[in-house]
Structure 1
Amino acid sequence: MILITGGAGYIGAHVALELMQQGDDVLILDNLCNSYRSTLDRIAALSGRRPGFIQGDVRNRGLLDTVFADYPIDAVVHCAGLKAVGESVREPLRYYDTNVGGTVTLCQAMAHAGVFNLLFSSSATVYGDCATMPIDETCATGQPTNPYGQSKLMAENVMQSMVCSDERWSVGLLRYFNPIGAHKSGLLGEAPTSTPNNLLPYLLQVASGQRAALSVFGRDYDTPDGTGVRDYIHVVDLAEGHVKALDALRTQRGVQIWNLGTGLGYSVLEVVRAFEKVSGVQVPLVFEGRRAGDIARCWANPEKALNELGWSARRSLDRMLADAWRWECHLHQEEATTLVS
């Protein structure tokens, strides 16, 4: 059985679905601070069976000890954590407590239970404002430009030290670039519980009429159109990368690091224009100053994951945006049906 912390969240839910569709038993631990219990119903509808679920916090050592004692867990995918760059600048202690403290507590509970296979949701932000593109795994992690990235790097350092002290561990550090999109069915996607901090969920809320305009933070970066450039990856491609990485961890020990990205960079304005073409909806824009903690450009060199895992991102930007828009429209249909009934 595989434990997924934060498994009711955007990325964790897609990972859970991919694992269940290949026959794995999954147990989700989530405190629902940025997710919904109804996500379990969506996973069940798509997979044909329901994942196990425990509502709780990864920082709760007593709860973790009970979970490992009660379930035959042999691997953990650690997705639980806070992830908004801007919010981390405003609330750094909260980010260190959750992202670093939660990781320490989880690893302690795993070691106590004799479970040593761990896959960690890290981030490309650990590379900081890297001078060279594309970014590969040999690039120095440097100084992340915001507390979110710092918390991810600190958690990585915790696990690196842990593995050095105990050869039983097999740890995979997955450095995500920018996950967007949704399941092709339109039944599973990103549903922020508060004001979105990332580009696409905010863009979708503007396109669906929930917000008046999309704020674009910074138009004077050293990029072709002045807006930030990122490597956007379909969330299902990302989830498939987790499945491949878990398979690899079962046959080796130590720490493995893999970038999960497409190797392509798109600016904010390129994403907006592509979305308008795919959806047929015009997106009003408001240009604002740069946001604290943001960098100009960031995209991956994903060759290591291809060579070692046999994984590569297969879905195009248009596919990412079309799937995300289908999910957003489905959500509105559900809400309308609920109101009518």
Structure 2
Amino acid sequence: MKNILVTGGLGFIGSHTVVELQKTGFRVVIIDNLSNSKIEVLEQIKSITNAKPGFYNIDICNKEALKSFFDTEKFDGIIHFAALKSVSESVQKPKEYFENNVNGLANLLAEIKNRNLNNLIFSSSCTVYGQADELPITENAALKPAESPYGETKQIGEKIINESCASNNLDAIALRYFNPIGAHESAKIGELPLGVPQNLIPYVTQTAAGIREQLSVFGEDYPTKDGTAIRDYIHVVDLAKAHISALERLINKKNKSNFEVFNIGTGKGTSVLEIIQTFEKVTNQKLNYKIVKRRSGDVTSAYADTTLAFNELNWKTEKTLEEALKSAWNWQQKQL
């Protein structure tokens, strides 16, 4: 049984990926500092999969704690999620984002090198593209100056990993996510940000649930079909399964170079107003929202060309936008 480390494994994407890893037959160990997650998620993963992953409460920015951890465990692969992840928050707190996301990755890579480990999957983001010149976005698109400190930390992360692959015995895949939404069909795990949500869908569901008074739509003057920003919203379970495909590619030595990148999205762009309308339709909930000025750090439009992931990872999305929004609402209702 292959032993897989998942950093940030109790978070939104991490927890869903742990479920898919265990369902596939991998043994999983999680490290997470619980800065934007809850320890209760561990039991929820166990109740879904009938297997409890190993868990260590560790901050990857703590070099000594990380070193001690690697003294006790050895891994066949590592999936690295642990990072601060809000575009808007990163504009307000750039120093924290660089310290956490870049330094934490550097610490992890140092341990990987010292212990001659291999097979790393990096949680990257479509924000590395900035505002792309052409849509849909392919992996060959130029990496523009990032629109946010968060996006810049992902660009730097990819660069550091690429250079590590060139100089060390490391094979790595960076998965450039578009916009993960939804929840597990069991409604036992989902997106539950601590404090005020920074992402659209949890703010939508919390507004519908009466936790938030009103949803703000940031900008109606974008050059799009309805004036609101367009994103590629992918069901988190589909996204989690992409990690399994990427991991098996590395373990089975099917990768074509020691550093590869893949877009992980649906290939379809959806506007903020379309999200609101679709949510209202599938849940029979009326949303209280208002249009406000644009938010710093946001691009106009971003959606993926997923041809490469389809051809090389043998992966594709299976779930619809309607299913994703319905599952997010089911999850939200269980939190009340």
Q: TM-score range by the shorter chain?
A: over 0.9
Output the CA distance in 1 between the equivalents of 2:63 and 2:259. Answer: 24
Alignment of 1:65 with 2:71, yes or no, is: no
Q: Which residue of 1 aligns with 2:264?
A: 260
Deviation at 1:142, TM superposition (A): 1.5
Deviation at 1:60, TM superposition (A): 1.6
Give the counterpart letter for 2:282 in structure 1. Answer: V
Output the CA distance in 1 between the equivalents of 2:259 and 2:69. Answer: 25
Q: Which residue of 2 aligns with 1:235?
A: 236
- Among the aligned pairs, what percent are the same residue? 42
Specify which of 293, 299, 304 is matched with residue 295 of structure 1. Answer: 299
Give the counterpart letter for 1:310 in structure 2. Answer: N
Query: What is the aligned residue count?
Result: 331
Give the counterpart letter for 2:227 in structure 1. Answer: G
| Cα-Cα RMSD | 0.8
Deviation per residue, 1:160-216 (Å, 9 max, x gap): 1111212x1100000000000000111110111110011000011000010111100
Q: Which residue of 2 aligns with 1:336?
A: none
Residues 65, 113 of structure 1: 8 Å contact kept: no
Q: Which residue of 2 aligns with 1:335?
A: none
Question: Which runs of at least 4 in structure 1 moved beyond 2 Å after TM superposition?
Answer: none
Deviation at 1:50, TM superposition (A): 0.5
Specify which of 54, 57, 82 is matched with residue 55 of structure 1. Answer: 57
Give the counterpart letter for 1:7 in structure 2. Answer: G
How is 1:176-195 mapped onto 2 (pairs within 5 angstroms)?
176-195=177-196
Give the counterpart letter for 2:261 in structure 1. Answer: I
Give the counterpart letter for 1:300 in structure 2. Answer: A
Q: Normalising by the residue count of structure 1, what TM-score does the alignment of the two structures yield? A: 0.96
Deviation at 1:61, TM superposition (A): 1.8
Residues 202, 214 of structure 1: 8 Å contact kept: yes
Specify which of 267, 280, 290 is matched with residue 276 of structure 1. Answer: 280
Deviation at 1:72, TM superposition (A): 2.7
Alignment of 1:316 with 2:317, yes or no, is: no
Q: Normalising by the residue count of structure 2, what TM-score does the alignment of the two structures yield? A: 0.97
Give the counterpart letter for 1:30 in structure 2. Answer: D
The unaligned stretches of length 5 or more in structure 2 are none
SS of 1:83's equivalent? coil
Residues 4, 26 of structure 1: 8 Å contact kept: yes
Alignment of 1:99 with 2:101, yes or no, is: yes
Deviates further, 297-306 or 108-117: 108-117
Q: Which residue of 2 aligns with 1:207?
A: 208
Give the counterpart letter for 1:35 in structure 2. Answer: S
Residues 177, 233 of structure 1: 8 Å contact kept: yes
Residues 61, 109 of structure 1: 8 Å contact kept: no
Residues 261, 299 of structure 1: 8 Å contact kept: yes
Output the CA distance in 2 between the equivalents of 1:98 and 1:297. Answer: 27
Give the counterpart letter for 1:262 in structure 2. Answer: T
Output the CA distance in 2 between the equivalents of 1:98 and 1:201. Answer: 24
Give the counterpart letter for 1:239 in structure 2. Answer: A
